[in-house]
């Protein structure tokens, strides 16, 4: 099991950047694929990005490809999401998630995350 705590959210103008962080507890972090999801008001939670346990493979939703970068530091038990060229439609609560049972590779089940953080609010003003 792993506990996840996000930080780094806030208010930013359109075109700006933010870096989200996710601190993971426990000794299993390096074994898990990790991901970021988001949920806007009145909408379902949606996949944003995922990274394999080694960090060697990354996957992105089409809506953020080329603007967001997911990364991890297994030595520090940390997951990151660098968000550039932010748009008002990126406004949402962002969640860190761990895939304990899903291998992150081609065709993986993006909705298969097992553990979740509490979320951090990102607001992009126009």
* 22-27 mean pLDDT: 92
- Confidence (pLDDT) at 4: 97
pLDDT of 6 > 90? The answer is yes
Four-point Cα dihedral 34, 100, 57, 87, nearest 10: -30
Digit-coded pLDDT (tens) for 92-103: 999 999 999 999
Q: What is the pLDDT of residue 110?
A: 94
Question: Do the Cβ atoms of 4 and 114 come closer than 8 Å?
Answer: no
């Amino acid at each position: 099991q792993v506990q996840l705590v996000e930080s780094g959210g806030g208010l930013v103008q359109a075109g700006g950047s933010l870096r989200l962080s996710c601190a993971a507890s426990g000794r299993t972090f390096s074994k898990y694929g990790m991901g970021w999801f988001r949920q806007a008001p009145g909408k379902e939670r949606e996949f944003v990005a995922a990274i394999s346990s080694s960090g060697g493979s990354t996957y992105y939703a089409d809506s953020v490809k080329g603007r967001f970068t997911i990364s991890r530091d297994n030595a520090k038990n940390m997951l990151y999401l660098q968000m550039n060229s932010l748009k008002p439609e990126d406004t949402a609560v962002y969640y860190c998630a761990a895939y304990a049972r899903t291998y992150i590779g081609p065709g993986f089940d993006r909705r298969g995350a097992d553990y979740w953080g509490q979320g951090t609010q990102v607001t992009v003003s126009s």
